[in-house]
Amino acid sequence: MSEHPISRFAETRMVTLQQHIMEQQKYHPTATGEFSWLLSGVTQATKIIAAKVRRAGLVDILGDAGHENVQGEEVQKLDLFANEILMKCLAYRGNVGILASEENENPIVLHDTGAAGRYIVLFDPLDGSSNIDVNMPVGTIFSVLERQNTGFGPRDSLTDILQPGIRQRAAGYVIYGSSTVFVYTTGQGVHLFTLDPASGTFLLHKEGLEMPPAGKIYSVNEANFPDFEPPVQNFLKKIKSSKEPAFTSRYVGALVADFHRTLLKGGIFLYPRTAKAPQGKLRLLYECSPMAFIAEQAGGMATDGEHRILEKVPSSLHERSALFIGSRNIVEEALSYTRGERKD
């Protein structure tokens, strides 16, 4: 039998991110295509941010923009640029009702009535921004929710935003690293794309990513050790003295990069509560929830030491949380300490 002419190409099928998002619609029978349209706003923005990050060392863009963000942290110019680009690319999509960013104190409500503003997009426009000065990776994290009340009449936008992470319709991140990588989930597994800078296209690299169930890398800001609660200190002492496996440590200081490594290689990333950050440092809506959705979709686990991250109902927009995220086996081990079941 002669070979079908297309089979030779099918083996090496080249799938763009746009194509992939469209194809994912088959899992959502009621999908109208508007969700794909929304996600393409995110990809468009991240390509522009990627290009800007690449030029950061060339143009006079480094340094402090001269004020602090709502979290009381130093804002750098690229944070503002990334924030603005995401706003611009998403605000005119027609189906985005609310935009909320780590960089803005209040959400931006675009459509407060009718079905037009069906989706809410939350983002950390530039994660790990202090890495920019030293040529280390930075990223963008996003999360998509659906407005609860799709009927007509004014809606309470804050109530719509403060949904537990389990209700996310999509989540993802982009790393502007040695290459630009886009990772996303809509609840049907986790998929990874790499940007071809020549054509400006995100191409499918790995579909249905699975996080290794165990791993030997732990990732934590060790300087905070004296400030961690005793159960966390005990857990860290335990894994450091473990022989099988013998652990090693990696810490980039940008959640996107530390999480990405954990997703691919396994292990654990933790940012526990400290005396300085009694609720934890990372933001529940912009950082913990989207990463938790991706981790769980890849077979991993995410907790704050007591509760599953995805079940936490936020009580404010910029709420912070402790985070223990990674391979199921190790996160469960951490939990056995934080829940007081183990003390050794």
Contacts with ligand AHG by CB under 6 A lie at 73, 124, 127-129, 221, 253-255, 258, 281
Smallest distance from the beta carbon of 95 to ligand AHG, in angstroms?
26
How far is the C-alpha of 237 from the C-alpha of 239, rounded, in Å? 6
138 contacts 254 by C-beta, under 8 angstroms: yes
Residue 265 in tokens: 């290689």
Q: At what angle do helices 328-338 and 230-241 cross, to 10 degrees?
A: 140
Tokens 């296209």 correspond to 201
CA neighbours within 13 Å on the CB side: how many for 65? 15
Report what 189 binds from Mn ion, ligand AHG, none; CB cut-off 5-8 Å by kind.
none
Q: Which is nearer to ligand AHG, 97 or 139 (CB)?
A: 139
Stretch that binds Mn ion, among 48-56, 91-99, 107-115, 127-135 (CB under 5 A): 127-135
Residue 285 in tokens: 């809506």
Smallest distance from the beta carbon of 49 to Mn ion, in angstroms?
12
How do 96-101 and 119-127 pair as beta strands?
parallel
Smallest distance from the beta carbon of 238 to ligand AHG, in angstroms?
22
How far is the C-alpha of 2 from the C-alpha of 18, rounded, in Å? 33
| Phi, psi dihedrals of residue 165, rounded to the nearest 5° | -60, -20
Residue of 297, 309, 326 whose CA lies nearest to 165? 309
Q: Which is nearer to ligand AHG, 36 or 131 (CB)?
A: 131
327 contacts 215 by C-beta, under 8 angstroms: yes
Report what 281 binds from Mn ion, ligand AHG, none; CB cut-off 5-8 Å by kind.
ligand AHG
Smallest distance from the beta carbon of 205 to ligand AHG, in angstroms?
23
Q: Which is nearer to ligand AHG, 123 or 337 (CB)?
A: 123
Residue of 132, 185, 174, 205 whose CA lies nearest to 47? 174
Smallest distance from the beta carbon of 187 to ligand AHG, in angstroms?
24
**Candidate list 76, 127, 257, 267; residue touching Mn ion; CB under 5 A:** 127
Q: Which is nearer to Mn ion, 18 or 104 (CB)?
A: 104
Report what 296 binds from ligand AHG, Mn ion, none; CB cut-off 5-8 Å by kind.
none
Q: Which is nearer to Mn ion, 39 or 255 (CB)?
A: 255
Written as one letter, the residue type at 100 is A
Stretch that binds Mn ion, among 32-40, 119-127, 185-193, 299-307 (CB under 5 A): 119-127
Q: Which is nearer to ligand AHG, 117 or 139 (CB)?
A: 139
* Number of chain positions touching Mn ion (CB under 5 A): 4
How far is the C-alpha of 61 from the C-alpha of 48, rounded, in Å? 15
Q: Which is nearer to ligand AHG, 124 or 333 (CB)?
A: 124
Q: Which is nearer to Mn ion, 126 or 192 (CB)?
A: 126
Report what 253 binds from ligand AHG, Mn ion, none; CB cut-off 5-8 Å by kind.
ligand AHG
How far is the C-alpha of 17 from the C-alpha of 27, rounded, in Å? 16
Residue of 214, 211, 192, 189 whose CA lies nearest to 203? 192
How far is the C-alpha of 204 from the C-alpha of 224, rounded, in Å? 38
Which strands, in side-by-side order, build the sheet including 323-326?
Answer: 248-249, 217-219, 268-271, 323-326, 301-303
**Candidate list 124, 258, 296, 333; residue touching Mn ion; CB under 5 A:** 124
Which residues from 96-115 bind Mn ion, rule CB under 5 A?
Answer: 102
207 contacts 194 by C-beta, under 8 angstroms: no
Report what 133 binds from ligand AHG, Mn ion, none; CB cut-off 5-8 Å by kind.
none
Pattern 177-206, binding to Mn ion, x per CB under 5 A?
------------------------------
Residues at the contact surface with Mn ion, assessed by CB under 5 A = 102, 124, 126-127
